[in-house]
Amino acid sequence: MAVKVNDVYKHWGNRKKYNVIAIALPFNVAVGVLGSEGSGKALHTEDEKHIRYFSDGNIYYTECDEYLVLYQRQGENTVYARPVDMFFEHVDGEIRRFTKQ
């Protein structure tokens, strides 16, 4: 599934809308390629810990070893990070966790 910056997705459970910020590369993929123009913190949804993310222009990466979707609930400041596979998976085998709006 293709996802673009600023795509809007609705969460199946809370029905809230979220804007996609980026698909963040794992740090080990980005080493030696990127600088660090900007940085921030995101709440990793699976272990509920804050992780750092970095940007170099339109490329984002994290200190984690997995590809993550960085996204933000509309009207709020918290940035969330979720593994790409989990962002697009089906809950209870039928319902998509997030649906594109």
pTM of the model: 0.86
Task: State the DSSP string of the chain.
Answer: ----TT-EEEETTT--EEEEEEEEBPHHHHTTT---SEEEEEEETTT--EEEEEEETTEEEESSSS-EEEEEETT---EEEEEHHHHTPEETTTEESEEE-
For residue 86, being part of any structural domain is answered with yes
Q: How confident is the model at residue 92 (pLDDT cuts 50, 70, 90)?
A: confident
Per the structure, how many domains does the chain have?
1
For residue 2, being part of any structural domain is answered with no
pLDDT of residue 33: 58
Q: Can you give the residue range of the structural domain that contains 51?
A: 8-100
Write out pLDDT tens, residues 19-64. 999 999 887 776 655 556 678 899 999 888 999 888 877 788 888 8
